[in-house]
Amino acid sequence: MNFHLVGGFTMRYFIYLAYDGTNYHGWQIQPNGDSVQETLMRALSTFLRQEIEVVGAGRTDAGVHARLMIAHFDYDRELDCVQITEKLNRLLPPDIAVYAVKRVKDDAHARFDATYRTYKYYVTTRKDPFNRHYAWRLFNSLDFEKMNEAARVLFDYTDFTSFSKLHTDVKTNNCRIMHAEWTQVSGTEWVFIIKADRFLRNMVRAVVGTLVEVGRGKMTVDEFRKVIEDKDRCSAGSSVPGHALFLVDVGYPEELFIVSPSDISNI
């Protein structure tokens, strides 16, 4: 292992990873189920031969996937980032992959310093045995044009209490939506892409479920707007299944990085 001791100081590293969430009870450590966070911490602790804590950029729910999640950990020695990436991938199960490990400034924080997160939610109208874990099958056609009209309403607001899981420990339900749009992937598949500075617990799945109500003609665009203004979870639609949701990107200021993140921009 290539490292050297740095006079009593800890050094902070960002881990860039992806995972298939099918077999996990979400990102966060759970008392009675496997989590991605715990699995990653176990691999790191095994390789570095000491207990390592890992902090993620967010908390994905049970069954939700990540094409790109960022987490940070501290260590008191300088690491060979290429070597630790390779070693972690050998220790981790096939459904979790580490893309890169990067040294960052010692006060950089994977969660609090993130400037945006981007999620994608996939729906399909075709039964597909090879995509059943990664897209939600719809049995009725939807008016995606009307759903996009409703999605644009999100830009007019910052308080999204109506789309938040109840009884969470957050101090504010305010979020700034930067992008929200349905795009057709193929003749039978659509994806909803949403980008914001932060997300509330269960927020994306609740937004998608409410937009589907609009697409089915069960809710008008004006009624969608009223759902937001009600600030009441009971006013919104049901949460859609988690298996079709992917965290796909997390952004940070470049000044956090000791080495520019440009070399991993294509991950």
**∠ at Cα 218 (245, 178), nearest 5°?**
40
Contact of 70 with 58, CB cutoff 8 Å:
no
At 107, phi and psi to the nearest 5?
-105, 5
DSSP letter at 254 equals G
Q: State the DSSP string of 173-187.
A: -B--EEEEEEEE-SS
3-state percent breakdown (helix, strand, coil) of the chain, nearest 5: 30, 25, 45
Residue whose C-alpha is closest to residue 35's, from 13, 7, 64, 4: 64
Told to judge if 169 belongs to the known catalytic residues of this protein, a careful annotator would answer no
Give CA torsion, residues 196, 200, 201, 203, to 10 deg. -60
119 a known binding residue?
A: yes
What is the rounded CA–CA span in Å between residue 220 and residue 197?
27
* Candidates 61, 106, 128, 159; catalytic one: 61
Token pair in block for residue 198:
């932060």
Q: Can you say which residues are annotated as belonging to the binding site for substrate?
A: 119
- Active site (catalytic) residues: 61
